[in-house]
């Protein structure tokens, strides 16, 4: 199916609550793993996904008052997020707009709310498609997305250093503004490990 034929309007994907949204996501991720043509499943999964970091918290996070969100449980929630991060059949501009939306303002939590929900992988593998969409955002939004990629309890680690080096090299070729914001976000996250706090 070509990009032009993929449904972009998601007004018919309405849910009475997060439990119904979670059930839909689990159902279609399981179905997508059993069919050859995943296009329809991908579309349902994509449009059932939240469109903000706050929406991700309500679906995948943990709150002291409301407790575990419907997809908080490991590995179920992680598998749904991982599948979302692998979708290829949605037009890239629509897909990356939503992917960036769920990362803006994000910060690490000790559950499924971490590492910018895998956006790093798409930034590395599809840099030329992600960068133009990311560059339309404000500096504050971009900074928050990059910060979320590296955020964690002990962000000064070898894995983050390698991620930073790889991403810095890719962004340097693509967009100097993004490259500068990446550097600032990474440096701020490292300060957290030096006892300076967030």
As a whole number, the mean pLDDT across the chain is 91
Helix (H, G, I), strand (E, B) or coil at 67: strand
Q: What is the pLDDT of residues 24-77, one digit of tens each?
A: 999 999 999 999 999 999 999 999 999 999 999 999 999 888 899 999 999 999
Q: Where are the domains of the chain?
A: 14-90, 93-198
Report the alpha-carbon distance of residue 42 to residue 90 in Å, rounded.
Answer: 8
What's the token pair of residue 113? 């709310």
Is the C-alpha dihedral spanning 5, 10, 11, 17 positive or negative? positive
pLDDT over threshold 90, residue 4:
no
CA distances from 191 to 9, 181, 197, 198 (A): 42, 16, 7, 8
> What is the pLDDT, as a whole number, of residue 79?
97
> What is the pLDDT, as a whole number, of residue 65?
87
Strand partners, 68: 62
- Residue 147 main-chain phi, psi, to 5 deg: -60, -40
Q: Over pLDDT 70: what percentage of the chain? A: 91
Report the alpha-carbon distance of residue 48 to residue 42 in Å, rounded.
Answer: 10
> What is the pLDDT, as a whole number, of residue 194?
56
What's the token pair of residue 125? 């593998």
Q: What is the pLDDT of residues 12-27, one digit of tens each?
A: 578 999 999 999 999 9
pLDDT over threshold 90, residue 151:
yes
> What is the pLDDT, as a whole number, of residue 6?
45
């Amino acid at each position: 199916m070509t990009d032009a034929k993929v449904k972009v309007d998601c007004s018919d994907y309405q849910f009475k609550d997060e439990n119904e949204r979670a059930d839909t996501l689990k159902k279609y991720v399981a179905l997508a793993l059993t069919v050859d043509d995943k296009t329809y499943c991908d579309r349902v999964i994509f449009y059932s996904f939240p469109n903000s970091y706050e929406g991700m918290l309500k679906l995948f996070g943990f709150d002291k008052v409301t407790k575990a969100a419907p997809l908080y449980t490991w590995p179920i929630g992680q598998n749904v997020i991982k599948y979302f991060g692998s979708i290829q059949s949605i037009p890239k501009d629509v897909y990356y707009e939503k992917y960036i939306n769920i990362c803006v303002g994000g910060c690490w939590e000790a559950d499924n709310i971490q590492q910018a929900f895998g956006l790093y992988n798409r930034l590395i593998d599809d840099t030329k498609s992600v960068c133009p969409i990311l560059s339309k955002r404000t500096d504050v939004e971009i900074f928050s997305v990059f910060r979320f990629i590296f955020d964690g309890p002990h962000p000064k680690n070898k894995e983050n250093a390698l991620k930073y080096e790889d991403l810095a090299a890719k962004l340097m070729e693509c967009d100097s503004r993004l490259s500068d914001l990446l550097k600032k976000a990474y440096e701020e996250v490292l300060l957290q490990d030096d006892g300076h706090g967030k």
